[in-house]
Each structure stands twice: as structure tokens, then as C-alpha cells.
Amino acid sequence: MLRHYWRGGLVGKVLSDQYLFSRLENTRTYQEFQLLTQLEELGLPVSKPIAAKVQRSGFIYRGDLITEAVSGAQSLLDKLKQAPLTESEWQATAETLARFHNAGVFHADLNINNILFDERSKVFLIDFDRGEIRKPSQQTVENNMARLKRSFIKELNRNTEFYWRESEWDKFYALYRSFLTI
């Protein structure tokens, strides 16, 4: 999978894919590649990093990242637009998120588009731009899960066919907490 780094928000309207360059190690591309390598070494389910490219021009750079595709990938959003998740799929999702959090992984954009299922319903997390490994803390976990809940609610309000209700969050969250060790 090839991913080009694009800016979001108001700045993105002016500098669509340009970032300030100081050193290679400070580029988002390099940092995400390094993080994915660490996560893979920890045995966490991520797309295997293959290559990264930083193209510098003066004080700016553009970046690209290539990762191995998740076989038969389907996002949690796509699955919920088709049918409710099974109990085992909810369990796999909760357990996978807890594994990342137990390892101190902070995902800067945890949402239902960045949770993938492969063809055997194994759960993967993708898009670790601005992510990092930190000392595990309750606050980081709470913030990450609150962000995830907001993405469920956002998609519930956006999609006419969406097999999730806000009342299901507490059950999912309790299942997730049962796998959490911090």
C-alpha cells in the first residue's frame, strides 16, 4: 500500500503535502516507518513497513510510505455498514486495542477507519502518523478510547445503513477493559 502524506485542516488548503524539513529523523515519514518497525517487532498486528521516501526541496519535504497490504482488508466502518459485528469480532477488536494500549502505543488518530479485519477476521491497526510508544497511562487510554467512540458516533450520524448503536459502547468498552492490564 502506498500512502502519500497530505496535510489536513486549514493549513492543508495552502500547503497540501508540504512539511518543514529540519532533519530526516524529524520527518513524519521517518517517524512512522520507525514506529511501525518497532510495533512489528513487538508482535503487534500492523501493516509491515516496506519502504519510506522523503523528497526534500530546500526547507520543505514531501513524504510517502509503503506498507504491506492487509490481505482481504475491510475497515471496521465498512463491516458495520454491511452487518452487525459478531461477538468474536467485537472480542478480537477489544483484545487488539488492549494489546496496543498495554504496550504503551498511542495512536494519534484512532477511529473506525483505521481498524482493519483481514479475510480471517484478524484485527489490524493502521495509520500511525504522529503515533508513539509512551509509558502506559490511564489518561492516554481514556483519551484514545474517547476518540474512538466519537468516530463511532460520527459514522452513526453520517450513514443510513450502520449496524451499531451508541447503547452498545458500554458493553464493548467493558470487554476492552477486561483485556487491559494497565
In tens, the pLDDT along 132-149 reads 999 989 999 999 999 999
- Cα 24 from Cα 19, distance rounded (Å): 12
pLDDT confidence band for 107 (50 / 70 / 90)? very high
Over residues 13-42, the mean pLDDT reads 96
9: left (phi over 0), alpha (psi -120 to 50) or beta: left
- Residue 13: predicted pLDDT: 81
Please list, in sequence order, all residues whose beta carbon lies within 8 angstroms of the beta carbon of residue 62, skipping any fewer than 6 positions away.
Answer: 4, 5, 17, 18, 19, 54, 55
Which of 8-12, 32-36, 70-74, 75-79 bottoms out in mean pLDDT, i.e. has the lowest? 8-12
- Residue 11: predicted pLDDT: 81
- Residue 157: predicted pLDDT: 96
- Cα 89 from Cα 39, distance rounded (Å): 22
Looking at the annotation, which residues are catalytic?
109
CB contact at 8 A, 17 and 4:
yes
- Cα 70 from Cα 118, distance rounded (Å): 6
- Residue 162: predicted pLDDT: 98
Separate counts of helices (H) and strands (E) for the chain: 6, 9
Over residues 7-22, the mean pLDDT reads 88
- Residue 111: predicted pLDDT: 98
pLDDT at 10 over 90: no
CB contact at 8 A, 28 and 63:
yes
Q: How many CB atoms lie within 10 A of CB 30?
A: 17
| Location of C-alpha cell 520527518 | 27
Over residues 36-54, the mean pLDDT reads 98
Q: Percent of the chain having pLDDT more than 90?
A: 94
Query: What's the predicted TM-score (pTM) here?
Result: 0.94
CB contact at 8 A, 126 and 96:
no
CB contact at 8 A, 89 and 96:
no
Grid cell, residue 48, equals: 509491515
Q: How many CB atoms lie within 10 A of CB 60?
A: 13
- Residue 177: predicted pLDDT: 97
